[in-house]
Structure 1
Amino acid sequence: GRGFAVVADEVRNLAQRTQESTEEIQHMIEELQSSASEATNNMQQSQSVVERCLSSAQISTQKIEKAVASIDQVDGLLIHISSATDQQSAVSREVAGSIARISQCAAQVLETAQQIESGGFELGAMGAKLKTHTLGFKI
């Protein structure tokens, strides 16, 4: 009789500890799943930021290429104006037209430079945001 009661108490204690351990393991699994889900979300957000950065970089590259083309066009027009000023009064009307084209190109260069500046600010903000997102990752 008494030996059976001792064994029964031990079995109950073991069952209680097993239940507590099972609950603790379940809690750990839930925390791991939550952490994994959060890490996945952070990675997806980072990927989105990277994609926007790449898109902005491509747009900036295109704008820089346009600026270079505009500068080349302005350079060509300046050479043309230099030779045109040596010609007669009929040629001076042509020079006036060239100056108007230069003004238009300069406005385009200014607009492109403003767009590049705006893209640079946006790229900087995205870089800061990406840095903020990546600070949460631990290796």
Structure 2
Amino acid sequence: MQRIIDPNSLSKRFISQNHYISLKNLDNFKSTWNSLTSKYTDNIELGEELWQEIENAYSNSYRHYHNITHLESMIDNAFKYKDKIKDLDTILFSIFYHDIIYDIKSKDNEEKSAEIAVDRLSKLGLQSDKIVKCRKQIIATKNHHKNTFSQ
């Protein structure tokens, strides 16, 4: 992925048209990912590979809303309400993967995103019950309906 720096601010990275995220925030965001994945695997290379996949997917220029700034906002909200969340790790994984597949013409983005999440979280060694929950949470974003399980 080509990285383009905003000439007006060397502290920002171009994400998509009119969408910037500060490099510091992106580093913090990546740090959140690294902290999360390190709970489930010692394989730093795997965590980095999966992070690159996430960053690349959400940084595509054709994404006008489902982009890295959207992800950043959701992660911020998860931490804002973390005291009310029973399983923050699963919520965070669901956020990271909920729109990893985004094709405006497709009607099964959530299902495809959930499949990728299941595969990647299995590689990380996440417990199967958390993977199932994450899959359900991602599918629930299809119509932006509230999940029926408690969280």
Q: Under a length normalisation based on structure 1, what TM-score does the superposition of the two structures give?
A: 0.25
Of structures 1 and 2, the larger Rg is shown by 1
Higher relative contact order by CA 8 Å / sep ≥ 6: 1 or 2?
1
Per the normalisation by structure 2, the TM-score is 0.23
Between Structure 1 and Structure 2, the one with more helix by share is: 1
Give the number of the structure whose residues are more often strand, by fraction.
2
